[in-house]
Structure 1
Amino acid sequence: MELGGDISSKKFLLAVSGGADSMVLASLFKIGDLKFEIAHINYHFRDEDSNLDKKIVEDFCKKNDIKFHLKDISEEEKSKMKSLQNWAREVRYDFFFNLLVKENLDFIVTAHHLNDELETFIINLSRGSGIKGLSGIPKNENRILRPLLSFSKSEIYAFAEENKIDFREDKSNQKDDYLRNKIRNQIVPKMEEVFPNFLEKFGESLGYLDTVNRFFQEEIQKTFDEIFVEGNESEFTLNKTILLKKHKTIIIEIIRKLGFTGIEIEKIMSAENGKFFRSSTHEITIKRKEIFCKKRN
C-alpha cells in the first residue's frame, strides 16, 4: 500500500478508532516514518468494549512514542444528541479540526476504504444524488485526506494479518440498526455473490465517474462565474437569460447547488416573473431576466 505524494514535511492527525482499517492506517504512517499524532473518541456506547478500543489505540501510541489525543464523551453531551450518526460526526470533526489548530498540524487523515465508497454510492443512488454524489468520497477535501479509498476491506484485513497488526472488531457493525449497516451486511454480500469481481470493477467505474465529475464541476463553476451578476455569499443575483441558454444538465446542477431537487428544479426552470421558491439552504425569487438568491440562516 502506498500513500503517495511528497508528504514528508507535513504533519498529520490520524483518526483511529481501533478497528482494522484505522490501525492499518496508523501502522502505514509509522512504517513510512511520517510525522503524525493520533486522535481517538470514546463515545462510551458499548460499555467495556469502548474502553478496550481506547486501550488498543493508546497502547499503540505508547509503544511507538506517538502523541495521543482522547475525547471522552460525557453523558451530558450524549443527552443533547438528536440524530446519532449526524451528532457523532459533528462531535468527531469538531474535535479533529480543533486539534489541527491547537497542535499546528496540516491534515486530518481517516481510514475510509473502498467498501465505504460502495456503501456511500448506494445510499446516494437511493437519494437521487447527482453525479457529484455518485463519484465517490473525496480523497482530499477541506484538509481531510483518505489514502485508503482504493483498497477493499478484505485487502486491509489481509495486510493486518500479514503484518501482525493488532485491532479490535466493532460488534455493533454486525447489527442492522442503521441503513449503512444493512447495506454492508445484506446488500453488498449478495452483489459479491452474484459478481465475484464486483468490488474491483466498482472501483474502476468510480474512478471514471470521479474524472467525469471533476470535469463537470469545472464547467459548472465556469457557468456560475458567467451568470453571476452581483452580490455576496449571503445574497446574490444570477443572470437567468444566460443560464437558460445552457445545456439542461448544467442548469439542473446550478439550481441543485441552491438546495433544490427533483420536480422543484423543473418548476424553477419554467417559472414566471415573480415566482418565489424556498429550499433548505436558499430562498430565490424569479425575475424577468434574473434570479435573486438569498441564503437562509
Structure 2
Amino acid sequence: MRELQRLNHNLIQSDSFWIRFRKHVSFFQRLKKGDQVLIAVSGGLDSMALLFMLVELDHFRISIGHVNHHLRKDSNSDKNFVKGVAEDLDIPFFSKNLNPDEMKKGASVEEWARNHRYHKLQKIACENDLKWILTAHHANDQAETVLMNLARQSGISGLRGIAKSNGNIVRPLLPFTRRELKEFIHQHKIPFREDETNSDSSFPRNFLRNEVIKPWEKNSPHLMRGITQSVQHFSEWMDSLDSLISEFCFPSVIRNQNHFKIEFENLDKMTELIQIRLIQILVENRDAKLWSKHKIETLRAFLRKNQIGN
C-alpha cells in the first residue's frame, strides 16, 4: 500500500498529539510492555488513528481484529482494506463475520451490531491468546453516549458514559476528540475508509452527532473537554458511592449461589436510592447494560409497597 510507504515516522513521533497519547497510555497500569493486544480496526478514521499511534509506540505485540457486519455494500472492501494494511505492517490479522439475517425483528441495528461485534472480538482474543482488546472510542463518542443515556432516562449511572476500561477491553482514546484524530490522520496521510452511513441522520446516534453535537461544538470549542471532565467526575462519584455501599450495606445481605436475601429491617434503614443501587449491584455486573427508567421505577414501586423478599 503506497500510502504507508510515505509515512514519516520521525514526524509522527515528534507530533505533540502523539506525545500526549503516549503519556496517556503510560497511565494505564494494567497494560504492560510486551502485552499481546488486539486492536479493533474497522478501517475508519478513528480506528486507523489508534492503530498507527500504537504502531509508533512500539510498546505492545499487536494483532488486528476486524468484524464484518455485512450491513453495507462496501463491507467486504473494508475488510480487504484492513487486511492489506495488516499485511503492509506485518501485523497478524483476524476477522469474523456477522449475519444480519440473525437479527431479531424490530431490534436496534446499532445495538445488535455493537453487542455481536464485542462477542466476535472476544472470540478472536480467546482463540489467539490475546490479553487485551483496544477500541477507538473517543471523546465525541463519550458525549453521544451520555446524551443517549439521558434521553433513555437511565439515571445517574448513565452519566458515567463509556468506561475507560472494563474487563479486558481498554479504550485509550477517550480523552481525545474526533477533531484531534482527524488532524492527526490528515497531517500524516494515513489512509482510512469512509462510512457513508455516518451521514445518515435517521439513526439516533448519527442524528446526535450530525445535528446536535457538531453545531454545538462549533459554538463551544471546549465542549468535549467539559463533557469528558464531567463524565470523569460522575464516574468517580459513582465509584465512591458503590464502595460505601459495598462496605456498609453488603454485610446485611445473605447471598447464596442463585439468590440473595435482605432482611426488611436492614433495608428499611437505607434511603430509597441506596436500596435501588444496592440491588442493581447485586443482580448484575455494574458495567452491564444500563437499567431502563421502567425497570428502575418498577423496583421503586415494589420497595415502596414494602413487599421485600428474596
TM-score by length of 1: 0.84
Q: 2:201·2:210 contact (CA, 8 Å) conserved in 1?
A: yes
CA deviations 1:107-134 (Å, max 9, x no partner) are: 1111000011001000111122232221
Count of residue pairs brought into register by the alignment: 271
| 222-231 or 211-220: bigger deviation | 222-231
Aligned residue in 2 for 1:242: 266
Sequence identity (%):
31
Quick one: distance in 2 between partners of 1:177 and 1:223? 46
Q: CA deviation at 1:264?
A: 2.4
Quick one: distance in 2 between partners of 1:205 and 1:182? 22
Q: CA deviation at 1:55?
A: 2.4
Higher strand proportion: 1
Q: 1:256·1:265 contact (CA, 8 Å) conserved in 2?
A: no
CA deviations 1:259-284 (Å, max 9, x no partner) are: 67443233223224xx4xxxxxxxxx
Aligned residue in 2 for 1:156: 181
Quick one: distance in 2 between partners of 1:104 and 1:131? 36
Aligned residue in 2 for 1:169: 194
Q: 1:14·1:110 contact (CA, 8 Å) conserved in 2?
A: yes
Quick one: distance in 1 between partners of 2:256 and 2:249? 13
Name the structure, 1 or 2, with higher relative contact order (CA <8 Å, separation 6+). Answer: 2
Aligned residue in 2 for 1:40: 66
| Matched position secondary structure for 1:108 | strand
For the pair 1:136 / 2:170, whether they are aligned, the reply is no
CA deviations 1:158-180 (Å, max 9, x no partner) are: 11122221111111011023211
Q: CA deviation at 1:89?
A: 2.3
| Matched position secondary structure for 1:39 | strand
CA RMSD of aligned residues (A): 1.9
For the pair 1:78 / 2:112, whether they are aligned, the reply is no
| Matched position secondary structure for 2:39 | strand
CA deviations 1:23-76 (Å, max 9, x no partner) are: 0111112111120111112223221x2233222211110111001112234xxx
| 256-265 or 114-123: bigger deviation | 256-265
CA deviations 1:84-124 (Å, max 9, x no partner) are: 22332232122111122211110111100001100100011
Gaps of at least 5 residues in structure 1 are: 276-285, 293-297
For the pair 1:270 / 2:269, whether they are aligned, the reply is no
Q: 1:255·1:265 contact (CA, 8 Å) conserved in 2?
A: no
Quick one: distance in 2 between partners of 1:247 and 1:177? 41
Gaps of at least 5 residues in structure 2 are: 1-20, 284-290
Quick one: distance in 2 between partners of 1:137 and 1:223? 27
